[in-house]
Amino acid sequence: MSDSKQFCTFFINGLFFGIEVLKVQEVIRYQEMTSVPLAPSTIRGLINLRGQIVTAIDLRRRLELPARGEDQLPMNVVVRTDDGAVSLLVDEIGDVVEIQDDVRERPPETLRGVARELVTGVYKLKERLLLVLDTEKTVTLTAA
């Protein structure tokens, strides 16, 4: 019998992504953000999470996807990293899905740009493709 993993899923620009549940601290609605002067464009700002200051990274910008519409507020997927909690801004939250490890595939060759570095694997589900993000690489920002 093969092992399985659980993923917290979410949508960004119509694409279906997942992060291992063990790395997710919580999922919350949109929070007001304080902008950070001179920060990289991928950092949307800082949020106050029950007294803890958390950096919010816009995954649309991080994955070099088109900007979110002004009328669409992002949701927060707060993940645990070696450096503390970080919020990933996503379009819409999905479900927690459990998938057998043996159906994992390598990222498709058609994946380009920074997404190629951040997506570690793909699962073909009945209704869509699940792209699995490497949490540590996703929150690590290099100076542009």
CB-CB neighbours of 68 under 10 Å: 19
Pair 81, 95: CB distance under 8 Å: no
Residue matched to tokens 């960004």? 12
Residue matched to tokens 């996503």? 90
DSSP-derived 3-state class of residue 137: helix
Query: In the numeric block, which tokens belong to residue 70?
Result: 């002004």
- Nearest-angstrom CA–CA distance, 124 and 6: 15
What integer pLDDT is reported at residue 143 of this predicted model? 46
Domains of the chain with CATH codes: 4-139 (2.40.50.180)
Q: Model confidence over 50-85: pLDDT tens digits?
A: 999 999 999 999 999 999 888 899 999 999 998 899
Beta bridge pairs of residue 105: 122
DSSP-derived 3-state class of residue 118: helix
- Nearest-angstrom CA–CA distance, 48 and 21: 22
User: Which regions in the chain score pLDDT beneath 70?
Assistant: 1-2, 142-144
Pair 96, 9: CB distance under 8 Å: yes
- Nearest-angstrom CA–CA distance, 77 and 29: 9
What integer pLDDT is reported at residue 15 of this predicted model? 93
- Nearest-angstrom CA–CA distance, 16 and 117: 17
What integer pLDDT is reported at residue 110 of this predicted model? 83
